[in-house]
Structure 1
């Protein structure tokens, strides 16, 4: 349906050429792993070195015994490079061996089926535009069908003594190089394979020839060593420990590793809800990037947090276009879900109506600035985002004369997607208040410290002091009611007047209500998909007394299904604050292992980046009690009964901080 403002196109992530393939032939016969007897197999994700290691000892159908060892690195120092060392050792085989190294296309995107969490559709696959292969290397170029965007994938190799090129093939969406050698018992051969990708968005040094040239020059050991150094530096910044629960510590490190490798580090690409691990949500970025993932990076890898925000700056024009489509004559409204910067969801009740995404991005900017005091970022990018997004609130809200001039915001959707198009969503109002105040503070900071930069920015976007004063007035007058009868914050003007959810709970594995009930059925009841008011208590709960927070927790926990993986970590953090220690532990454990144990039954769509981030937040903000208020760090640690102690590292304004907690107390250093 094509109503005004409805999106008419979408971005989607589609499979690209796969360059990791290396196949074996013994003589003229391909080695088929499914037909061989596996004698021993081990696969290790080396979190310390940032490498995936595999070892397989097998007996072929012909009775020959081989051992295959592979080590794979995707170096964080390069924009798009894959490095593989692949070694084959003979135990009792004598004869010719061929290694077939290829780049292949043809894999189709996962179809949605009946689960809307995957996406609208898989998109149309890329078409192959060029294929080349010879003894020196191979490359394959793909293009999109409509926009003509080109992606080049190329490979080069280094060979161990005794291996020589024997053939090169190209055609039918596949390029391949073959290398031969003769094996004898006790001998081994190896190749180092380097695969580079280039979509044209990087710098001159990111082209495939330049990247592969550096890889061939340095060799696998140097690349793997540099990766290990990078990871060592990260773990020094983001180090953590759990005394008495090594499984929890390992899961936390596993989650942190996924966050680091999936976060947009180049300022060009965003951080998708599934990272780079699967096709769920079509590769789209949502508000949870700034609400969950960015805080982790701000405290452990500030350069990555900055790059994540630069992606939002790069897509600011798309947010301006979204604002115009939503009838706002000025300002910027970031889309609910996007890749390139424009709205990709036409389901406006739970999409475009979620104006709180502007506040989430402002929250991320504010937290990054608190943690880094990066005035250059503020003057060059952050202030423009804050100002342009703050402009939306006076257009979306109004000073209500029936409520003594309180600033009210109507027809929006908060984090809870089972309650949509409401007036005065408490979370949205609270976060809008903080957003407006952040924008005013940025204006005042630049006025004092970078007046020339502020003058140039204000002139370029047509911003004057009177508009900034309006933001302050709206923030001061924000409508944030408390229900007198219950002593809690009402989720919105009507939520508490609705009936409770009447349907019986489903037995068996967790299944979200959205898969079985029409949205209107959900909207008519007091049922929450995820934390909403509770989320406000965690992100902006300073100044609210503990008794009110406890009542909020108790009330909303009873009506929340936690059908979103964003919910458990938030409830766990507030549970720690209000003294619900057992529940804090249960929620922490749920977010810690949501993907390792596939608790929501959809990890095959990709891991849940926000839940992974939520596990770290559960440790640091939940058990550690970390809050940032007024630009200052505050802690209120608790110790779970299952642990003897725990500790974590933080970065704060260029300094390293370590917090250790055990039964004796807390140590800060």
Structure 2
């Protein structure tokens, strides 16, 4: 049990069909296939295409100027796994037993075995082997192998591109709405079948094709295994009125499987993480890395939604999760994909500029809190648009990408403009005021990462991130000057000086009583949430209490001030950091899946090994154990990235700037060894640590100056 590179049914806590559909889903960044029971015609099964969405007007009881106008909802397309199987008399076979299901993380192959039966006792064994293209991201291959058990005769296999959607009646705001405004057209093809799905409002289309006709007869009279191969094509997202490429179906399972295997070999060669001494956690982190790579948009026009391509939860929207929890993994292991994720933000910069104007900010850009097409889709602005920190989050991601790669070409073409426009937003959005007799700069009526504390003044995280955003402008201007290049976006000397003055004077709230950074100006004036009186079944709080009740208490959904401490570790002395950790941990519910990874990484840095390990255990296998109770809606992608952060930046203490890379050994007691690969400034590195020391090897690239466990070293290439 717990093969580090194979996920099987015994590894999963919750065997409810919708949960298994999510956990065993496979994808390639363009589309994903949920692992439905192929004979059940599941309403929650289906094919999810990254960036294929429909809009519908948001209905407000009382609307106001500047509210988000339209829902944006990703569409669950026909289930590529679904089949109907009948005998010669028309009796239907249904699933009698799910025998096994295995996802091979080395190859990307998903294998499902089940027993099928009719009401009168005829039985078949079905093995479904499934692969999805990684180089050619438009194809999938499914091979059904039928073996008679107590049956001899012919069967009819019906395979059709059909919708089995059900209306969503749940009030949970994390679930997706049903989409009813689709036009579905059959297409004339020489082989098999094809359909075109067109959206009424967004005027987008996707074509899907299968290599087989709707019905096929198979002869099972010889009592032998009989294969039924289906090649599938899921075309790109295109404009309804534009040209569309010709669909090309894969010839066989082997072609698609080999493509996938080569891709995964590269992924593990560039960014594997190996834990010796804890097989369940080793399996968990491998699964998380696998699904991160399966979900990331690679074309510069799509991103990573909150559920990736594993489900339609959160309506397929992109959030700040990408830059803060998932991008770090790609920066240090797959920098080409990291660049494409940031390129998506550049392509929606015009919408961000327009959004800033709507908010009354005359210069700069404000990126949408939740979106697919760049327009704001959050109907609840206190926990949506008010999270202005997304601007600084994106800027932080760009800065980290540049520090790790030195890719000045990207900064020239895309990155610098985003940094400047977000800095301009902060300079125009904020205000000067007097605090303790000193003139300072701050931001009012904002919401930080903690969505249980909304519309406050001077959220510490927001202010610190805005400060960093403003400082980045000067750092990148110097990089252009050092390279002898002109600025790609004009920034006057006065504007640069203004950015520096504002950054130097940004107000960072501090609580004298507790001797810690204050989450915001009013946080410590509020009563602490009555945790002792809150029953376990009332978590998450957002589903059981009015927002205003939550807002008037000290209670955190997730790390907020501590997230700033995590990102800017040198800001706070260790004794103060310990006080902050202790206090904010006491008022945090971890109702957000984004929370535990940060608490784990900080605990590791603070030397609290047992606590760091406990939080990490929750992050590493969150979806395999269904810890949050809603994996059926899709994987928690930010947590998948967070588990990698817990290991690499927590237990391995990795921290970098453009000038230095630091590794500090915080290996958990019950691990024998930790080894991982990463890339830094054109070098491929192997980091290995045990309780006896830390070793860093330069596998490729130039010699490296690095700080290992507090000692500055120079490591030559292998």
TM-score of the pair, normalised by structure 2: 0.84
Are the equivalent residues in 1 in contact too, given 2:363–2:428 (CA < 8 A)? no
Of 182, 190, 193 in structure 1, the residue corresponding to residue 231 of structure 2 is: 193
CA apart distance, 1:149: 2.1
Of 265, 285, 290 in structure 1, the residue corresponding to residue 323 of structure 2 is: 290
Of 142, 154, 161 in structure 1, the residue corresponding to residue 209 of structure 2 is: 154
Q: Partners of 1:532 and 1:55 in 2: how far apart?
A: 45
Task: Report whether the alignment pairs 1:241 with 2:299.
Answer: no
| 3-state SS of paired residue (1:198) | coil
Q: Partners of 2:126 and 2:246 in 1: how far apart?
A: 28
CA apart distance, 1:231: 0.1
TM superposition outliers: structure 1 runs of 4+ over 6 Å: none
CA apart distance, 1:451: 2.6
Task: Report whether the alignment pairs 1:24 with 2:85.
Answer: yes
Task: Report whether the alignment pairs 1:33 with 2:91.
Answer: no
**Which whole-Å deviations, capped at 9, do the CAs of 1:108-146 have from their partners, x for residues lacking one?**
3534x2322225x43434232x21466712111122122
With over 3 angstroms needed to count, the CA separation of the structure-2 counterparts of 1:501 and 1:56, relative to structure 1, is closer
**Which whole-Å deviations, capped at 9, do the CAs of 1:532-568 have from their partners, x for residues lacking one?**
1100011122232111111110111111111111111
Residue 245 (structure 2) aligns with: 207
Task: Report whether the alignment pairs 1:127 with 2:155.
Answer: no
Are the equivalent residues in 1 in contact too, given 2:153–2:221 (CA < 8 A)? yes
**Which whole-Å deviations, capped at 9, do the CAs of 1:73-114 have from their partners, x for residues lacking one?**
122212332221222234564432333222112413534x23
**Which whole-Å deviations, capped at 9, do the CAs of 1:307-333 have from their partners, x for residues lacking one?**
111111111111112111111112110
**Which whole-Å deviations, capped at 9, do the CAs of 1:242-274 have from their partners, x for residues lacking one?**
111111000111111111111111211121111
| 3-state SS of paired residue (1:190) | strand
Are the equivalent residues in 2 in contact too, given 1:267–1:307 (CA < 8 A)? yes
Residue 95 (structure 1) aligns with: 153
**Which whole-Å deviations, capped at 9, do the CAs of 1:409-431 have from their partners, x for residues lacking one?**
22211111111111111111111
Residue 13 (structure 1) aligns with: 74
Q: Partners of 1:560 and 1:187 in 2: how far apart?
A: 55
Q: Partners of 1:599 and 1:57 in 2: how far apart?
A: 30
Are the equivalent residues in 2 in contact too, given 1:14–1:124 (CA < 8 A)? no
Q: Partners of 1:110 and 1:604 in 2: how far apart?
A: 13
Aligned length: 634
Q: Partners of 1:154 and 1:114 in 2: how far apart?
A: 35
Q: Where in structure 2 are the equivalents of 1:467-546 lying within 5 Å? A: 467-502=495-530, 504-509=532-537, 511-546=539-574
**Which whole-Å deviations, capped at 9, do the CAs of 1:43-87 have from their partners, x for residues lacking one?**
101100012112235565555553322211122212332221222
Q: Partners of 1:427 and 1:115 in 2: how far apart?
A: 28
Task: Report whether the alignment pairs 1:392 with 2:392.
Answer: no
Residue 7 (structure 2) aligns with: none
With over 3 angstroms needed to count, the CA separation of the structure-2 counterparts of 1:122 and 1:440, relative to structure 1, is farther
Residue 457 (structure 2) aligns with: 423
With over 3 angstroms needed to count, the CA separation of the structure-2 counterparts of 1:56 and 1:116, relative to structure 1, is closer
Q: Where in structure 2 are the equivalents of 1:35-114 lying within 5 Å? A: 36=96, 38=97, 41-58=99-116, 64-90=122-148, 93-108=151-166, 110-111=168-169, 113-114=170-171
Q: Partners of 1:503 and 1:579 in 2: how far apart?
A: 27
CA apart distance, 1:226: 1.5
Q: Partners of 1:90 and 1:205 in 2: how far apart?
A: 46
Of 257, 268, 291 in structure 1, the residue corresponding to residue 301 of structure 2 is: 268
| 3-state SS of paired residue (1:318) | helix
| 3-state SS of paired residue (1:32) | strand
With over 3 angstroms needed to count, the CA separation of the structure-2 counterparts of 1:65 and 1:179, relative to structure 1, is closer
**Which whole-Å deviations, capped at 9, do the CAs of 1:356-414 have from their partners, x for residues lacking one?**
00111111111111221111111111111111111111112133344522222222111
**Stretch deviating more after TM superposition (222-231 or 505-514):** 505-514
CA apart distance, 1:605: 1.7
Residue 414 (structure 1) aligns with: 448
Residue 347 (structure 1) aligns with: 380
Are the equivalent residues in 1 in contact too, given 2:145–2:227 (CA < 8 A)? yes
Are the equivalent residues in 2 in contact too, given 1:133–1:139 (CA < 8 A)? yes
Q: Partners of 2:329 and 2:499 in 1: how far apart?
A: 29
With over 3 angstroms needed to count, the CA separation of the structure-2 counterparts of 1:636 and 1:28, relative to structure 1, is same
| 3-state SS of paired residue (1:53) | strand
| 3-state SS of paired residue (1:11) | strand
Q: Partners of 1:348 and 1:474 in 2: how far apart?
A: 26
